Amino acid sequence: MSAEIIDTDAAQPLLDVQGINVYYGEFHALQDVSYRIHEGEIVSLLGGNASGKSTTMKAILRLVKPRSGEIRFAGRSVLGDTTADVVRAGIASVPEARRVFPEMTIEENLLVGAHTRRGGARALREDLDAQYDLFPRLAERRRQEAGTMSGGEQQMLAFARALMSRPRLICMDEPTMGLAPIIVDQVLDTIQRINRERGVAVFMVEQAAELALSIAHRGYVLAGGTVRLEGTAFDLIANPQVREAYLGQSVV
């Protein structure tokens, strides 16, 4: 079941992306893409292969530079920021395929997530303890090399590492990719807990539309580098175009 709708009419968006255009050489990857994410929301960005989903994420994280348009976070333009700047501002990421540091321990991976933070040893210890409370399995294995963990455990580590920067928004790129169905359910539950218990907004890029919309408040559908549809998760699940193109349900 999708998340309850959050009233965003009067609220300033936490992330406000307006009319961005991104090129790779002469290829126009994103064409006037606009969307908003508010405090406390889970927003899913849906689309097939080569739709522009990952490029959208990279633009937020300052890994690609839009040729035009605007990206504002907490009311401030981040177009001139570096990736480290946007992390310090409150945006963290859980990259596709997790990308943990395999030869480092779990705790060392978590400390990497706090590298842009300012604060003393006590605050750092408190943050580590908070992640271990949320993910007891990581606490049990804190001295274990990350590369020896299962895919689901590595995804938990990737979530915990992102939380170490104390973000207001976490961008997640295909968080369920390559995981067994039973682990997928655990991952989706964890995303909801992060959102509900930590108050962190989540922007989730997913190809598995039904999974993404099952926990989202709202969603956008990207195709050919443009936003084709947007709405509440309930409305998108009920939309015949979404059902046929992304949920594998024929519409008569």
pLDDT tens sequence across 88-147: 999 999 988 778 888 999 999 899 888 776 667 788 888 899 999 999 999 988 999 988
pLDDT band at 29 (very low <50, low <70, confident <90, very high): very high
Side chain identity at residue 187, one-letter code: V
Q: What is the mean pLDDT of the chain?
A: 88
Collapse the DSSP code of 109 into the 3-class scheme (helix H, G, I; strand E, B; otherwise coil) and give the result: helix
Residue 9 has a pLDDT of: 58
Give the position of tokens 């990719």.
Answer: 177
Tokens of 148: 């020896």
CB contact at 8 A, 118 and 101: no
Q: Which two tokens stand for residue 50?
A: 């080569």
Mean pLDDT, range 228-249, rounded to an integer: 83
Domain ranges of the chain: 15-100+168-246
Q: In terms of CATH, what superfamily is 15-100+168-246?
A: P-loop containing nucleotide triphosphate hydrolases (3.40.50.300)
The helix or strand, by DSSP H or E, that contains position 143, with its residue range, turns out to be none
The rounded distance, in Å, linking the Cα atoms of 167 and 181 is: 28
pLDDT surpasses 60 at 250:
no
Report the percentage of the chain scoring pLDDT > 70. 92
pLDDT value for 98? 72
Q: What is the pLDDT of residue 203?
A: 97
Kindly report, residue by residue over 177-219, the tens digit of the pLDDT: 888 888 888 889 999 999 999 899 999 998 788 888 999 999 9
Q: 29 with 224: CB under 8 angstroms? A: no
Dist CA 42 CA 165 (whole Å): 19
The residues facing 218 across adjacent strands are 43, 232
Give Cβ neighbours of residue 230 (< 8 Å, ≥ 6 apart). Answer: 35, 218, 219, 220, 221
